Amino acid sequence: MIAENNTSFYFGLKMLLRKESFGLLIYNIVGDKFYFLNMGNFKNISRFKNIKFVNGSQQEIIDFFIDSRIVIIKEETVSITESKECDFEKSDFYLSKPCTVAWEITLECNLDCCYCFSKSFTDVGTPPHELIDKISNDIQNAEVMRVILTGGEPLIDLEKLFYILHKLSKIEIGMILSTNGTLIDNNIAKKISRYVSAVQISLDGKQNTHDMIKGKGTFNKTIEGIKNCIKNGIFTQVTLIPTKLNKEEIIEVVSLCEELEVNRFHLFPLILRGKGVTVYEKLKINKIEIERIYNECQKAKKRGGWDIGISLSRRHISQGSCILIKSDGSVYSPSYDSAESSYAGDLNNESLLRLWEESKAFNRKNHLIQTNPYMIVGCL
């Protein structure tokens, strides 16, 4: 989980809301953040406009927001108030349905990063149109709120990518494109901006370090991809995996991202999967040092008066932390602290919701705690 400064929402921005037994699940599509909030008493107040509700009555949700003072409305601005973090390890906050799906639409990639976790699977190409249609329908029926399109490199097959984006655009959902950024020219960024709510682009350090990890010349291509996304108004997150190779230059990378007007800089853990298995012991740094790096980034942000958001994945990685759909329709609950992933089923002959409800691969409590590195938790 992360801690970031309070965020303001403006009328007209899209938020998805879903009632759960513990309270309310809220997803701010534009800022790519989840909020998990305990239920309170309701009053008869209605002030929200242009909000899509997945289920539950609009009146109840509005009442809950206002009565609990989760939101404060001043003129045109709706502010989410600061809240206490929950001790989820001692809670019973289970999800009735998945909130996030990572869809690996291909494992083919134009790069060969030294710790790529996707190299743990054999690529079967991009999914056929019939399977894309089936998976898209399953995502809608399961009331998934957020889909991360990843790979490999999802921009390898543009025809298939835009077919998927078009299908998902018919659903009220957040669409995140996870990419290395090297293939995003201005024309592609303009087309992507019509569909996605955010992009996640990996940047592994300053130029020499990044090129050492991803290949010579990739740094400049990645920076151009970032610039093109920002120029076309896409919410842009730069993700960096802190390792022994880049830990001393991370502050400078954040400073560069601030200059580029990146929206968020995110520290994500090295994953013990795929090629990461062979380099894990050589490259890993411990959680205490990662926390120190994160705190130093926040201090640098304060000193410099930077606008960029800075976040950190704080999570106990275990099975059940994510729903992963492979390009062949197979579904997994990956374990990021081991080389093994739990097979849950196959969407060629099962529904996503049925697998969520019946497969032993999913631990829904863990899914709530771990699946979104951007979540802010409210307990009011």
pLDDT digits (tens, 9 = 90+) for 170-201: 998 999 999 999 999 999 999 999 999 999 99
Mean pLDDT, rounded, for 113-142: 80
What is the pLDDT averaged over residues 23-27? 72
Mean pLDDT computed over 307-321: 63
Q: Which residue has the higher pLDDT, 358 or 42?
A: 358
Higher pLDDT residue, 183 or 58? 183
User: How high is the pLDDT of residue 243?
Assistant: 92
**Tokens describing residue 214:** 């991803």
Mean pLDDT, residues 56-85 taken together? 50
Q: In the structure encoding, which two tokens stand for residue 196, read together?
A: 């996605």
Given this model, what pLDDT does residue 32 score?
82
Q: What angle do CA 173, 153, 370 make, to 5 degrees?
A: 50
Q: Give residue 22's pLDDT.
A: 65
pLDDT-derived band at 224, boundaries 50, 70, 90: very high
pLDDT at 124: 56
pLDDT band at 66 (very low <50, low <70, confident <90, very high): low
Q: 26-38 burial, b if ≥16 CB within 10 A, otherwise e?
A: bbbbbbbbbbbbb
**What pLDDT does residue 172 have?**
85
- Of 44-53, 269-278, 318-327, 354-363, least confident by mean pLDDT is 44-53
Joined together, the tokens standing for residue 266 give: 């995110």
**Helix, strand, coil abundance in the chain, percent, nearest 5:** 35, 20, 45
CA distance linking residue 129 with residue 193, whole number of Å: 22
Token pair belonging to 334: 């990956």
Q: What is the DSSP letter of 29?
A: T
Task: Supply the mean pLDDT for the chain.
Answer: 77
CA separation for the pair 300, 297 (Å, rounded): 5
Cα 230 versus chain centre, distance: 18
- Per-residue pLDDT, averaged over 154-171, amounts to 95
pTM of the prediction?
0.82
pLDDT confidence band for 320 (50 / 70 / 90): very low
Q: Find residue 249's DSSP bridge partners.
A: none
Residue 340 token pair: 């093994």
Report the CATH fold assignment for 100-370: TIM Barrel (3.20.20)
Residue in 45, 42, 49, 47 with CA at minimum distance from that of residue 19: 42
- Whether 272 shows a pLDDT value over 60: the answer reads yes
284 contacts: CB under 8 Å, gap ≥ 6: 243, 244, 270
Q: How confident is the model at residue 99 (pLDDT cuts 50, 70, 90)?
A: confident
**CA distance readout (Å), 300 to 223, 236, 308:** 22, 20, 11
Q: Where are the beta strands (DSSP E) in 244-363?
A: 264-267, 309-312, 323-325, 330-334, 341-346
The pLDDT assigned to 126 comes to: 76
Distance CA 36, CA 23 (A): 7
Average pLDDT over residues 127-142: 95
**What is the mean predicted confidence (pLDDT) over 107-119?**
76
* pLDDT at residue 314 in the model: 59
Residue scoring higher pLDDT (76 or 1): 76
Task: Considering only residues 340 and 217, tell me which one the structure prediction assigns the higher pLDDT.
Answer: 217
Domain residue extents for the chain:
8-89, 100-370
CA distance 88 to 110: 39
